[in-house]
Amino acid sequence: MDGEPVGQLRLTPRDSGYEVDIYVAAHRRHSGVAAQALAQGVTELRAKCGAQSIIRARVKHDNIASQHLFEQANFKLAERRDDHFVYVLGETLS
């Protein structure tokens, strides 16, 4: 990546854990950057806040690439809402 910013990953504290938001510049999509950033972000958050930290992601129905990203990172589909899905890591789903 040659030191050039190619996106961002935010982990925002919420009432019962964190919400992850990830953006990758169009010219770097499908290159593995998002998976690397997500893995590093989860690792750093859990090192700081504990291995049981709950992380949620909201993904629009038409964003297939993001759905695959979170599924590959062991996030589980927790909810189907009108305009998005909710994926969760670190929480037992019923």
> What is the value of pTM for the model shown?
0.89
Please tell me the number of Cα atoms within 13 Å of 5 on its side-chain side.
4
Task: Write down the pLDDT at residue 93.
Answer: 54
Q: Could you read off the pLDDT of 5-57 as tens digits, one per residue?
A: 899 999 999 988 999 999 999 999 999 999 999 999 999 999 998 888 899 99
Which residue, among 24, 50, 51, has the nearest Cα to 36 in the 3D structure? Answer: 24
Lowest-pLDDT range of 23-27, 77-81, 89-93: 89-93
Task: Write down the pLDDT at residue 92.
Answer: 57
Spans of all domains in the chain = 7-89
**CATH hierarchy code of domain 7-89:** 3.40.630.30
